[in-house]
Amino acid sequence: MTMHKIIVGDVYAGLNELEDNSIDIAITSPPYWNQRDYGFEDQIGNEETPTLYIQKLNIIFQLLKKKMKNDAVFFLNIGDKYLSKYGKSSLGFIPYKLAYEMVKSGWFLSDIIIWFKPNHMPSSIKNRFTNSYEPVFVFSPNRENIYTEYQISSNDYSNILKINLQPTFYKHVAVFPEKLVESLLKKVKIREKVNILDPFAGSGTTLKVIKDLNLNATGIMIEKNIDYVEIIKERCKLNGNYNTFTPKHIYYTIEENNQNNKQLSIFENKIDYYNNNSKKGLLKVANSIEEYYEILNEFENQSIKFKYSQDAIFFIGSKELNLDMILDTASLTDKGWAIRNMIVVEEVSKWFPIFFIVDDNKRCNYIFNYEKLNLQSKTKYERDWSETNFIGYKVYDSVSKSKRTGVVIDVLEKLENFFPTYLLVRWSDGQITREYVIYDESFVNDNISIILEGNKIIIKEKEIFIDLDKEWKSDLKYFDISLSNFNKNKYNGKFSNEKRKNLGASPGARASTNEEYFSLQRLYNVNQNLVADYINYKRMEKGLTKSELTSKFPPNYKHTVGHWLRKDFGGSIPTPEDWFLLSKILDLDEEVTNYVCKTALKLQTVKHARLKPPRDFINVDFVEKLKLLYKV
């Protein structure tokens, strides 16, 4: 009877307990950077920078390499992260930078397998592709190994795996699917009496698969969290068929070294340029790495910026790939570019990358017309609004300077489906207002046309459907609601004590911890660039310089007015209060005032849109459709 091993301790100390040259296969998915809190000090993934995270994992995996047999294989699944910054956030390429450091440390990279998740989490981000895959790196101490043996002998070799995310009833555990582990094990020549290691065991998925497949193998699990150890015992039904021990903790230090990972730091674009080119995008896929570098060179030396408009998007890819070309592309983030996605393109049984690149300037945003792809959401949002009592819902003013709060005291009108069209709101300052409620944002914004004619903006509403001057009646029977004491729908469910970081990408988990409420916001999606142009036109008509216009406002507006006149990421739209002050100085047109200042309520809740952005895993037949994303 096989006796499995559970090492209860830190991964570095646990690896140190293993014999050198003893492991045949290692499979793991370490904690991703800045993704989850596992509840103990010095945990992997909570480093201050991705550089430190990479260096710490590289030290751990150097020790792991000593424990591997000469022809052993290490399957490493690790997800990426966006590096937040002012402007356009770039994909971090953290997995590939870790792989690069591991290759420098003596590992051989035999393959990069793409794990595509057909049931991937939807995303609320609408200006890039939805993440739907993760890489699995295939490492070995030697070039020839049990994975390359499989590659040579297999008639249907593929480095793409399509495997659903697996639900689990184990609370707060990030589980990679059993099917993924099983599929990886089937890609190697498994001999008799092998040792299979998972250095970040978690809930014991690797050991469970070993037992389910009845492999003649000893499973070695390293896990520090004692709660997870108990889950492993229960989930894998070990029934005493295991040995467990706790190694002495080993301290090791890491000093951040950015010289070897300069691409991990994102710098501002220092090139200042303007062009009037109307080209909105580029799609180009090279057939060889040499041809790809010819394209990449235009981005490296910035020359391509003078051929396209500043809001253009670029798709460049290569049907040949290696780790160096991925990292050389990632280094564009040091040269005034933001890489929003690495799109994986499936062609027969292999894949190649296409990089979604935009100019990292602060002057304007980029074009991303995902609606033109007409990708229908699978899940339709269905809700019986007649069962929802909106009386007492909180209201937050996100438009005005006062940032008022309020409460719904009456429903004045409803649609046929019982969703409210007009609500009566009592604000914390005592004011009572009648507010229009947005049900369909696309209908609202499709209802208006904006035309630039010379120095004048012409705004036309196709239908006047919001009549704020209409008389309204209410019996005001809900005035006894106390705004200060009101606490509707307080959440006490299973996520109530969970840190937000641990909720992952699940919209259901995140929504469940937040009550529904209404937000007062601008009725239209106001074009800030257009409004800035308009204010500047009106300023020049009055013969005012920027500083002269600023001087007509109180001293605390010294920097604010300048932001109204800017068309970059530092630009802002005046609040309704400030707009009316501005109007007294510049005689702003009434139709533009309505466009900028009309407000409405929007229900803040999880809702599935009719159309969805594309996912970052596509078939080769879909590539040409990428041009629709920058089609005006």
Q: CB-hemisphere CA count at 13 Å for 206? A: 30
Mean pLDDT of 528-549: 91
Within-domain flag for 284? yes
> Do 391 and 352 share a domain, yes or no?
no
| 182/292 same-domain check | no
CA–CA dist 362, 339 (Å, integer) = 15
Boundary (domain end) residue, out of 206, 232, 262:
262
The pLDDT, as a whole number, for residue 478 is 36
| Same domain as 172, residue 25 | yes
**Residue 579: inside a domain:** no
pLDDT for 275 equals: 55
pTM confidence score: 0.74
Does the pLDDT of residue 574 top 70, yes or no? yes
Work out the pLDDT band at 484, boundaries 50, 70, 90.
very low
The answer to whether residue 214 sits within a structural domain is no
Tell me the pLDDT tens digit for each residue of 227-259. 889 999 999 999 888 888 888 878 776 765 554
Strands 133-140 and 617-619: unpaired
Q: Are residues 110 and 256 in the same domain?
A: yes
Total H helices, total E strands in the chain: 16, 24
Structural domain span for residue 400: 385-529+598-604
pLDDT band per the 50, 70, 90 thresholds, residue 291: very high
- Tell the residue number behind the tokens 């090139």, with chain if given: 271
- Residue 201: the pLDDT is 92
Q: Please report which confidence band the pLDDT of residue 452 belongs to, taking 50, 70 and 90 as the band edges.
A: low
Same domain, 170 and 79: yes
Angle at 525 between CA 432 and CA 279, to 5 degrees: 170
Q: What average pLDDT does the structure give for the chain?
A: 84
Same domain, 56 and 185: yes
CA 136 to CA 77: how far, in whole Å?
A: 4
Residue type, 206: T
87 & 118 share domain = yes
CB 436 within 8 A of CB 468: yes
Q: What is the pLDDT of residue 453?
A: 67
Q: Give domain status of residue 51, yes or no.
A: yes
Give how many domains the chain has, as a whole number: 3
> What percentage of the chain has pLDDT greater than the value 90?
58
Tell me, yes or no, whether 182 and 48 share the same domain.
yes
- Residue of 574, 204, 518 lying closest to 392 (CA atoms): 518
Query: Are 413 and 439 in a shared domain?
Result: yes
Of the pLDDT bands very low, low, confident and very high (cuts 50, 70, 90), residue 264 is very low
Residue 326 pLDDT > 70: yes
Over range 430-450, report the average pLDDT: 82
What percentage of the chain carries pLDDT values higher than 70?
81
Give the DSSP per-residue string, 515-581: --EEEEEESS---HHHHHHHHHHHHHHTT--HHHHHHTS-GGGTTHHHHHT--STT--PPPHHHHHH
pLDDT of residue 278: 75
Mean pLDDT across 201-214: 94
For residue 166, being part of any structural domain is answered with yes
pLDDT value, residue 569: 66
pLDDT tens-digit readout, 385-395:
998 999 999 99
pLDDT of residue 600: 92
Q: Looking at residue 498, what is its pLDDT? A: 52
Judged by average pLDDT, the poorest of 41-50, 168-177, 557-566 is 168-177
Mean pLDDT across 596-618: 85
User: Smallest Cα–Cα separation from 139: which of 71, 44, 45?
Assistant: 71
Rounded mean pLDDT, 471-487: 41
Q: pLDDT band at 271, cuts 50/70/90?
A: very low
> Are residues 428 and 357 part of one domain?
no
Residue 252 domain flag: yes
* Residues 330, 416 share a domain: no
Least confident of 344-348, 468-472, 475-479, 524-528: 475-479
pLDDT at 88 (0 to 100):
83
Q: Are residues 123 and 187 in the same domain?
A: yes
Cβ proximity of 87 and 569 under 8 Å? yes
Taking CA atoms, 404 is separated from 396, 412, 425, in Å, by 6, 21, 11
Q: Report if residue 35 sits inside a domain.
A: yes
> Does residue 374 fall inside a structural domain?
no
- Give the phi and the psi of residue 228 in degrees, each rounded to 5: -70, -35
CATH code of the domain covering residue 331: 3.40.50.150
| Of residues 285, 169, 173, the one with CA closest to residue 223 | 173
Give pLDDT, residue 494: 47
